[in-house]
Amino acid sequence: MSKIELLAKIELLNKYEAMIEEMKGEADTIRNSIKAEMEAREVEELIAGQYIVRWATVLSNRFDSTAFKKVMPEVYKAYTKQTTSRRFTISV
């Protein structure tokens, strides 16, 4: 791949990613308006045509690794493992 082709691909990628972010913003706006309607109706489930929209409260328990690390640092260290990944970035 030539430098010109690579530059064109990077610019196209940047354009598509900007479009994705814009569309995500619009989707979030629509999602929030649906949530606002559900709050106004005081419902967790709403039927609209063939769609069933649910916005329910969910409780979950999560492990607080930061607090555990402070209280039992040796045990925390014994059960942590290093992983390897690759990060793709483009900077100007």
Residue 83 lies in a domain: no
Residue 88 lies in a domain: no
Residue 84 lies in a domain: no
Residue 85 lies in a domain: no
Residue 91 lies in a domain: no
Token pair in block for residue 67: 């607090």
- Quote the CA–CA distance of 50 and 59 in Å, as a whole number: 28
pLDDT tens for 8-63 read 999 999 999 999 999 999 999 999 999 999 999 999 999 999 999 999 999 999 99
- Quote the CA–CA distance of 13 and 8 in Å, as a whole number: 9
Residue 15 lies in a domain: yes
The amino acid occupying position 46 is: L
Quote the domain boundaries for residue 62. Answer: 3-78
pTM: 0.72
Burial of residue 90 (number of CB atoms within 10 Å: 0-12, 13-18, 19+): exposed
